[in-house]
Amino acid sequence: MTATAHHCDVLIIGSGAAGMTTALKLPGTTRIAMLCKDNMTEGSTYYAQGGVAAVLDEYDTVDSHTEDTLVAGAGLCHRDVVQYTIERSSDAIRWLIELGVRFDTEQQPDGSNSYHLTREGGHSHRRVIHAADATGREIAEALNSKVLQRDNVEVHERYTAVELITADRIGQPGTHCVGAYALNLATGAVEVFHAGAVVIATGGASKVYLYTSNPDTASGDGIALAWRAGCRVANMEFNQFHPTCLYHPEAQTFLVTEALRGEGAHLILPDGSRFMHRFDERGELAPRDIVARAIDHEMKRLGCDCVYLDISHKPAEFIKQHFPTIYMRCLELSIDITQVPIPIVPAAHYTCGGIMVDKQGQTDITNLYAVGEATFTGLHGANRMASNSLLECIVFASAAAADMARKRPGPAEVEIPAWDESQVTDSDEDVIISHNWDELRRFMWDYVGIVRTNKRLQRARRRVQLLQQEITEYYSNYRIGNDLLELRNLTLVAELIIRSAIARKESRGLHFTLDYPDTLADSEDTILVPPNFG
Q: Identify whether 499 is a catalytic site residue.
A: no
Buried b (16+ CB within 10 A) or exposed e, 481-496: bbebbbbbbbbbbbbb
Contact 35, 11 (CB under 8 A): yes
Contact 14, 35 (CB under 8 A): yes
Residue 136: closest CA among 326, 390, 349: 390
* Radius of gyration in angstroms for the set of CA atoms belonging to the chain, rounded to a whole number: 23
Q: Cα(385)–Cα(288) distance, rounded to whole angstroms?
A: 8
Q: Cα(138)–Cα(509) distance, rounded to whole angstroms?
A: 31
CA dist list (Å): 251 to 45, 213, 246, 303: 19, 10, 6, 21
CA dist list (Å): 4 to 8, 11, 15, 25, 199: 14, 16, 22, 28, 21
Catalytic residue among 232, 261, 288, 293: 288
Q: Cα(49)–Cα(384) distance, rounded to whole angstroms?
A: 16
Q: Write out the E strands in 68-143.
A: 105-107, 113-115, 117-118, 128-129
| Strand, coil or helix: 91 | helix
- Reported as type and span, the H/E element at residue 224 is helix 221-229
Question: Which residues are part of the catalytic machinery?
Answer: 288
